[in-house]
Structure 1
Amino acid sequence: MSTRASRSDVLRLRLLSHGLSATATATGGLGGPLAVVERMLAVQAQDLPAASWAIGVRSPGTVAADVTAALDAGSIVRSYPMRGTLHLVPATDVRWLLDLTAERVLSSLETRQRQLGLDATIVASAAVAATDLLSGGRHLSRTPFLAGLRSAGIDPDGQRGYHLIVSLALAGLVAWGPHQDGQPALALLDEWAPVQRRLDRAEGLAEFLMRYLDGHGPATLRDFVAWTQLTVSDARVALAEAGDRLEELEVDGESLLLPVATERGVLGSRPAQRSPVLALPGFDEYLLGYRDRSYVVANEDFPRVVPGLNGIFLPLIVADGRVIGTWRKETTRTRSAGPTVAVEAAPFSTLSARRSTGFARAIRDYSRFTGIPTTVTPPVAPPRRSEHDILNG
């Protein structure tokens, strides 16, 4: 049986799930870096500084060095558990996630790898070379690792090196672990994260869905499929296995899922206090984690978030659960004063005084997280389009 809810209810519940609500931010968010990643299960991380801030904004008081420390301690690793894209995941969850997803991701890469001249024999040789290079607790950043492959007679030029690393990670041989000379370094997964949970397929699918909804719900089964790139059949198995641990919300005739333990007091009520204005990073799960993104950003504004619809998601300004603009930063470095950051807001419309003040506060939080002095350019409303402009595109 489902409960009827509004789109506003969905936003309030999602802010709670993400640890971004007013209540969550006032009480420490989701906890430290590991607690955040455990709640989210996977945080997109091809842009590591952005992924670090995605953790920081959900963990008030955390600083960037804390995220780096978690990676260097091995409690969080960076791998390719979904969509062939780097994510931060709890170290203990890497193996069962790869058990569920790696085969489909590898299949999707076959055509490109053939174009690059990579076959099973070369990948197998790379696995032997990687084991020789990294065994015994050794760690190598990208450049020396690729040099090691070359010394073993494997050409890593062009995109070959990238695809070989992805293939080895999907096979569960390597993962990005500690930093070396300020750069992420590869390690053998079994050495770097030896404590791994293993789940049978049905159990793993159910946990995948439950953990996704813990950190992202309410969401549809289609959202889950888009996030994981599992099959619809797998999603249905997950739903059946999760059983009475889930409940449904009916919103505009659509069924959204959430764990039964989710706070229900927000349904049909006005929030006790307004959610803070948020400065989220690019590629943040709050937008990226769903197939249907219309709950959080208007369809007509989506191209402003992904200019050219080229897959590059800009940092977000969020107020009351909705994306109301984007922001950009530019870093200046000097020998005498060190780096400084200038942030420029690009709101979709003129910001109210409250939202302008809230955004400035959010950027101060970002500055505390990075430890880099940061200034904000006063937000400027986008130019109004004339009737002539609208009629003529």
Structure 2
Amino acid sequence: MLHPSISFARIIQQQLVSPKFSAIKDIVRHMGAMQAQDAYAAQFAIASRLNKRVKEIDIEKAYAAREIVRTWLFRGTLHVCAPEDVYWMLALAKERLWKTMQTQWRNAGLDEKTMAGALASIKKLLKGGQQVPRKQILEMLTAKGIDVSNHRGTYILNRAAYEGLICFGPKSGKDFTFVLLEEWIPKPKPIPRKRAVEMLFNRYIESRGPATLKDFAAWSGLTLTEIRTAVKNIEEHTINDQAYIFPKNYVLPAKGKHPVLLLPAFDEFLLGYGDRTVSIKADYEKEVYKSLNGIFSYIVVMKSAVVGIWKRTLTNKNVTIHIDLFEPINATQTKELQNAAKQYGEFLSLPSTIHIQQKKAVSTLRDGTK
């Protein structure tokens, strides 16, 4: 059930209100790892958590400067993390996923000999600091007689990432490139697994608490048994029959202004937890979670709860933001939505048009920002 105080506390820890970080690399490090299935949504997720305005191009520059890294991490999903974290996080994620992934590879007809050949070819192609788009890598593999159809190409890139061979590099035009991970980010000394679990848990609670052990297990893909073995002296507080773990020295706010937020698809505000019911009503879940194809919509948050979804339509001259609300809002909230949409346009360096639809009313607001 909805719990606005818990949800508001998460908004604070996730830096979605009164953020304390100004550097892109610092907010990513604070969050530990951030969902990045949708690369452009992830860029806005980062920008939404900073105390200064940054643009889409600034996030792309941070990738190019090796201040942040995008690769496959927890649960077999793309994430953004800090460069100093990528190796130990890969090691944590790989062990739990390996059996599942190997089954997928075998079912796709990718035996170990084929995989080894593909990875050797990718390494040769990228060696010496080469930054190569996905399409070109797959074309090279095809030319060598390796079938990359029906997700095989993705499986090969997954394998290369979890082996620590590749990660995403900077953009080349409109395309994201891949680079050799050890050329891009020097490999540090390994961290013992138990210590790594504890580090990830602490980072998670500080950036997403209050949360439960099950929330952390769902987000990280680790087992509760391993978590309880690695993390000692956990102090839990029972609220609504749920045992929550709070960040250190944290006091749940009794009052505070709940911001109106436009958050991107796959945002950690929802995907950072196994149990999302404190922040979204059950009646709205089917609108937000497109579970059949794994898509999570862009969301509207008011009073620390999800109250709608949104999408964008881009042209070279304008971004139109279509907002579909699940419940009516007042004039003040409409103005705050307009401001949030304007900020999104500024992030894209485009003027914005905001189209708001609710139960019995439709309004269109325009911002002339250039």
Q: TM-score by structure 2 length?
A: 0.92
Distance 2:32 2:89 in 1: 10
Q: Which of the numbers 357, 364, 367 marks the counterpart of 2:345?
A: 367
Q: Conserved in 2, the CA contact under 8 Å of 1:247 and 1:260? A: no
Cα distance change, pair 261–238 in 1 and its aligned pair in 2 (3 A): farther
1:63 aligned residue: 55
Cα distance change, pair 100–308 in 1 and its aligned pair in 2 (3 A): closer
SS of 1:317 mapped into structure 2: strand
Q: Which of the numbers 246, 249, 256 marks the counterpart of 1:258?
A: 246
Distance 1:298 1:250 in 2: 21
Unaligned residue ranges in structure 2 (runs of 5+): 362-370
Distance 1:73 1:308 in 2: 35
User: Aligned residue pairs: how many?
Assistant: 359
Determine what percentage of the aligned residue pairs are the same residue.
Answer: 31
2:312 counterpart of 1:312? no
Q: Deviations over 1:189-208 (max 9, x none)?
A: 10001154631011100001
Q: Conserved in 1, the CA contact under 8 Å of 2:4 and 2:279? A: no
Q: Deviations over 1:228-256 (max 9, x none)?
A: 1111211112322xx3xx54332112211
Q: Conserved in 1, the CA contact under 8 Å of 2:215 and 2:272? A: yes
2:344 counterpart of 1:344? no
| Code of the aligned partner of 2:164 | G
Q: Which of the numbers 3, 6, 12 marks the counterpart of 1:7?
A: 3
2:159 aligned residue: 167
Distance 1:286 1:169 in 2: 26
Cα distance change, pair 197–261 in 1 and its aligned pair in 2 (3 A): farther
| Code of the aligned partner of 1:37 | V
2:367 aligned residue: none
SS of 2:344 mapped into structure 1: helix
2:263 aligned residue: 280
Measure how far apart 1:8 and its partner are: 3.4
SS of 2:135 mapped into structure 1: helix
Cα distance change, pair 197–75 in 1 and its aligned pair in 2 (3 A): farther
Q: Conserved in 2, the CA contact under 8 Å of 1:80 and 1:170? A: yes
Unaligned residue ranges in structure 1 (runs of 5+): 1-5, 384-393
Distance 1:378 1:300 in 2: 20
2:211 counterpart of 1:233? no
Q: Deviations over 1:85-119 (max 9, x none)?
A: 11111111111011111122232123322221101
How much is the aligned-residue C-alpha RMSD, in angstroms? 1.8
2:77 aligned residue: 85
2:1 counterpart of 1:18? no
Distance 1:137 1:117 in 2: 31
Q: Which of the numbers 353, 359, 369 marks the counterpart of 1:381?
A: 359
SS of 1:283 mapped into structure 2: coil
SS of 2:231 mapped into structure 1: helix
| Structure 1 residues 128-167: aligned runs within 5 Å | 128-167=120-159
1:118 aligned residue: 110
Measure how far apart 1:17 and its partner are: 0.7
Distance 1:136 1:265 in 2: 51
SS of 1:177 mapped into structure 2: strand
Q: Conserved in 1, the CA contact under 8 Å of 2:313 and 2:320? A: yes
Q: Conserved in 2, the CA contact under 8 Å of 1:343 and 1:374? A: yes
| Structure 1 residues 174-323: aligned runs within 5 Å | 174-196=166-188, 198-240=190-232, 243=233, 247-262=235-250, 264=251, 266=253, 269-271=254-256, 274-307=257-290, 310-323=293-306
Q: Conserved in 1, the CA contact under 8 Å of 2:94 and 2:162? A: yes
Q: Conserved in 1, the CA contact under 8 Å of 2:209 and 2:246? A: yes
Distance 2:348 2:331 in 1: 26
1:390 aligned residue: none
SS of 1:255 mapped into structure 2: strand
Q: Which of the numbers 52, 68, 76 marks the counterpart of 2:68?
A: 76
Measure how far apart 1:182 and its partner are: 2.9
| Code of the aligned partner of 1:15 | I
Distance 1:308 1:236 in 2: 30
Q: Deviations over 1:254-293 (max 9, x none)?
A: 211123133x161xx222xx12200000110001111111
